[in-house]
Amino acid sequence: NIKGFDTDDYDHRKEFRRIFAFCTASKWSARAFLLIDIVDFSTFSTPEQLALRMSLGQAVTSCARRFYRLQQKGLVQHSRFNRVSTGDGFYIWSYDTSPDGHVSTFLLLIFLMTLIEFMRKEASSRLALRAACAIDEAYTFPYDGPGTPPSDRTYASFRPDAIGPVLNKLSRLVTAAVPGQILIAPFEQPGREERPDEILDVPTMVDRIKSEILPGELDPADSIKAHDIVLELDPPGLLRATDKHGLLHHCYNLRGAIPNRAGSSGPLSLQSIGLVPDDAARIETTAFRPFVL
């Protein structure tokens, strides 16, 4: 027992969680993470690397803001995201540990890949990404080390870091991806609380985003309609991918045509994302071999 701590007092519990977050590591049995990797980053000059990293950081922030419109329509829960640098990219995850947080993390990846491909097409951006998503065990801990006394000021700037199997899986999986490709590790997790029989897996999550969330962004005046949106696992089954270390991984390949609005009030257009696995010209020089299990 902790002297003076009342387990029935909400403020006491909240303050204890703050202290706990600042001083310890937390283990999560299932946490959704993204790994975003800039293609051929080391081949660019230092000024070019700086420009690419700043562009990617701005793109992530812009895509996180896209959630506000969906939240106002009740299509997603508000989700704050954390990111840590890998040097040539980011690990990204949501502060929301619920199934909705898993979906929001995956949706952020879709938004980000859509924006990057739009920038490459419309603005001749040199920023190209490989991306992977997974849900697995993770440990989060204070980025600046334990022991910082929690206060309103320090809590507002609290930054978590993370390690664990899910990050290891992503770092290996993304080496099997080619530029523009989106790979997803298979998973099965409990679904939403209001649907106790629901199981959240990759096909279910893809269908939910395609049929329930993305159409909600469309306005009646938009020329793009819900039936124009494409988001699919191509092929629908699991693939085998070999990373640069020769390790075999099972994964899905995601592709789509996603609505993208130029600016905050510009017209919508459909932006293609992802890679079709039979695009042999793009995979023949990599370790990725898309054989359906």
Q: Which CATH number characterizes residue 71's domain?
A: 3.30.70.1230
Within a domain: residue 9?
no
Average pLDDT in the 210-232 region? 91
Which of the residue ranges 51-65, 73-87, 202-216, 254-268 would you say has the lowest mean pLDDT? 254-268
Q: Which residue has the higher pLDDT, 219 or 112?
A: 112
Q: Is the pLDDT of residue 266 over 90?
A: no
Local confidence band at 285 (pLDDT 50, 70, 90 cut-offs): very low
Average pLDDT in the 32-36 region? 97
The span from the first CA to the last CA of the chain, in angstroms, equals 53
How many structural domains compose the chain?
1
Within a domain: residue 6?
no
Q: Which residue has the higher pLDDT, 283 or 93?
A: 93
Q: Which residue has the higher pLDDT, 66 or 44?
A: 44
The two three-digit tokens of residue 201, written as one number: 């897996």
Average pLDDT in the 228-233 region? 96
For the entire predicted model, the pTM comes to 0.85
Q: Is the pLDDT of residue 292 over 50?
A: no
| Torsion, CA 284, CA 289, CA 290, CA 293, rounded to 10 | 160
Within a domain: residue 176?
yes
Within a domain: residue 49?
yes
What does the pLDDT read at residue 290? 46
Buried b (16+ CB within 10 A) or exposed e, 149-174: ebeeeeeeeeebebebebbebbebbb
Query: At 33, phi and psi to the nearest 5?
Result: -130, 150
Q: Is the pLDDT of residue 132 over 70?
A: yes
Within a domain: residue 14?
no
Q: Which residue has the higher pLDDT, 149 or 215?
A: 215
Which of the residue ranges 181-185, 229-233, 270-274, 280-284 would you say has the lowest mean pLDDT? 280-284
Local confidence band at 291 (pLDDT 50, 70, 90 cut-offs): very low
Q: By the 8 A CB rule, do 159 and 142 touch?
A: yes
Dihedral sign, CA of 111, 117, 121, 126? positive
Within a domain: residue 1?
no
Range of the domain at 174: 26-292
Average pLDDT in the 100-107 region? 93
Within a domain: residue 7?
no
Q: Would you tell me how many other CB atoms lie within 10 Å of the CB of residue 127?
A: 19
Within a domain: residue 127?
yes
What does the pLDDT read at residue 160? 84
